């Protein structure tokens, strides 16, 4: 057979057409991303909430026989009502703590006690820490004037973080409303997710990948973020009702430790010791100590119930996701970061373990 000559002009024209189409598609994708980027975190958080709450919606629909839109609306309204009361109390406590600190500094009533003699014997930092501490206890105004730029920078950073927390909770409410809209069209959204996954990974692997992503989102959202949020509410309300100074900030620290999978007793035990030191042993302090201590250990009961039903994700993945998300996107990133990184982790390891079967080796030809 005579080989067919290659038409170089046709090949060049075809390659040029492919490059032009790829360039136009790239430009369109970049424009779409720029338009969508301001709403990225909000929509991502809404999608996570919708996937997490959708099983509850299906249960309520089976029992009551109501329409998906009605059940989703009731869930969103109930969640907003339940969350607004503790969030309002914690926000008021944060504002009161900051206001009290500012009043103490302005009136000059804030006094630093002198350091203990044993502090000077600490290795490396003992002597400089003692000198700084002693100067703060004897002449705080001069020390404040000396480090005024650093204090100003820290104060502005703290205020911006507090403002970010408020905006984060406000965004959470909006995300919850949008999640209700997603849940109202849950069946269609589920079919669309499976179709997209099947188009990307093939008809055989697509449904499995969609199921894996859903299970991972629910496991991390319920077993990590949800438990940390419950702990923050329980412990924070105990701090607020007891009148612990800085109760709102301490509650936020409880939330951070819970997401990082660190023991909340790092905060509850010092607070209990502080209450006993300042108020003494009484019926109220004993009840407060028992309640706060038990609330700090509630994750040991909830984790086997919630996280055990989903996909196991190593603690370093959750920790990196929480820290990276908080640094990049603030309080919302603290919630979204672990979920997104956990999904990526599970997809990566499924890709690693999903190796094609080796071709059977043929024996030697006779």
Question: What's the number of CA atoms in the CB half-sphere (13 Å) around residue 132?
Answer: 9
Q: What's the chain's length in residues?
A: 366
- At 254 the pLDDT is 85
Closest to 248 in 3D by CA, of 99, 97, 103:
97
Spatial distance between the Cα atoms of 115 and 125, rounded to a whole number of angstroms: 13
Show pLDDT as tens, one digit a residue, over the chain (366 residues): 455 555 777 788 888 888 999 999 999 999 999 998 888 878 888 888 888 888 888 888 887 777 888 888 888 888 888 777 766 766 676 666 666 666 665 655 556 666 666 666 667 667 777 777 777 666 666 666 666 666 666 666 666 666 666 676 777 788 888 988 888 888 888 888 888 888 877 787 778 888 878 877 777 777 777 788 888 888 888 888 888 877 777 887 888 788 777 788 888 888 888 888 777 778 888 898 898 888 888 877 777 666 544 456 777 777 788 778 777 776 667 667 777 888 888 788 878 877 665 555 555 544
Closest to 295 in 3D by CA, of 263, 325, 320:
263
Spatial distance between the Cα atoms of 54 and 215, rounded to a whole number of angstroms: 12
- At 6 the pLDDT is 55
- At 99 the pLDDT is 67
Q: Is the dihedral of CA 145, 147, 152, 154 positive or negative?
A: negative
Taking a C-beta distance cutoff of 8 angstroms, is the pair 72, 180 a contact? yes
Spatial distance between the Cα atoms of 105 and 189, rounded to a whole number of angstroms: 55
Residue 185 burial (C-beta neighbours within 10 Å; 0-12, 13-18, 19+) = middle
pLDDT in tens, 55-103: 888 888 887 777 888 888 888 888 888 777 766 766 676 666 666 666 6
Spatial distance between the Cα atoms of 335 and 366, rounded to a whole number of angstroms: 65
pLDDT in tens, 302-322: 776 665 444 567 777 777 887
Q: Is the dihedral of CA 244, 249, 253, 259 positive or negative?
A: positive
Spatial distance between the Cα atoms of 65 and 228, rounded to a whole number of angstroms: 33
3-class DSSP state of 312: coil
- At 311 the pLDDT is 55
Residues 6+ apart with CB under 8 A from 277: none
- At 365 the pLDDT is 44
- At 343 the pLDDT is 81
Region of 93 please: left (phi>0), alpha (psi -120 to 50) or beta.
alpha
Spatial distance between the Cα atoms of 144 and 151, rounded to a whole number of angstroms: 8
Give the start-to-end residue ranges of the domains of the chain.
40-351
Local structure of residue 334 (DSSP, 8 states): H
Q: At what angle do helices 283-296 and 227-242 cross, to 10 degrees?
A: 170
Taking a C-beta distance cutoff of 8 angstroms, is the pair 115, 137 a contact? yes
Report the b/e string of 282-306 with b at 16+ CB within 10 A: eeebeebbebbbebbebbeeeeeeb
- At 344 the pLDDT is 83
């Amino acid at each position: 057979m005579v080989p067919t000559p290659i038409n170089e002009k046709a090949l060049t024209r075809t390659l040029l057409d492919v490059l032009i189409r790829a360039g136009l598609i790239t430009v369109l994708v970049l424009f779409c991303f720029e338009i969508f980027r301001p709403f990225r975190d909000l929509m991502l958080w809404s999608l996570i909430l919708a996937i997490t709450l959708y099983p509850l919606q299906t249960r309520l629909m089976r029992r009551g026989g109501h329409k998906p839109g009605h059940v989703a609306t009731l869930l969103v309204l109930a969640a907003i009502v339940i969350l607004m009361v503790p969030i309002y109390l914690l926000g008021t406590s944060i504002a009161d703590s900051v206001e009290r600190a500012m009043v103490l500094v302005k009136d000059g009533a804030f006094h630093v006690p002198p350091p203990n003699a044993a502090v000077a014997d600490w290795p490396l930092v003992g002597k400089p820490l003692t000198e700084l501490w002693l100067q703060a206890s004897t002449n705080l105004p001069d020390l404040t004037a000396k480090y005024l730029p650093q204090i100003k920078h820290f104060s502005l950073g703290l205020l911006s973080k507090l403002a970010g927390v408020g905006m984060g909770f406000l965004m959470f409410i909006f995300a919850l409303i949008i999640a209700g809209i997603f849940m109202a069209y849950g069946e269609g959204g589920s079919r669309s997710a499976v179709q997209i996954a099947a188009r990307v990974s093939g008809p055989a692997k697509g449904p499995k990948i969609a199921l894996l992503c859903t299970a991972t989102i629910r496991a991390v959202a319920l077993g990590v973020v949800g438990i940390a949020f419950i702990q923050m509410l329980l412990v924070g309300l105990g701090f607020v009702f007891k009148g612990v100074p800085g109760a709102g900030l301490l509650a936020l620290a409880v939330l951070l430790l819970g997401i990082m999978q660190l023991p909340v007793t790092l905060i509850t035990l010092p607070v209990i010791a502080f209450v006993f030191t300042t108020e003494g042993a009484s019926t109220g302090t004993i009840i407060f100590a028992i309640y706060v201590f038990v609330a700090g250990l509630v994750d040991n009961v909830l984790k086997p119930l919630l996280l055990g039903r989903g996909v196991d994700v190593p603690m370093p993945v959750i920790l990196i996701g929480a820290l990276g998300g908080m640094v990049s996107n603030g309080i919302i990133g603290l919630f979204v970061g672990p979920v997104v990184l956990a999904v990526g982790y599970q997809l990566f390891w499924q890709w690693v373990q999903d190796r094609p079967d080796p071709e059977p080796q043929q024996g030697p030809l006779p």
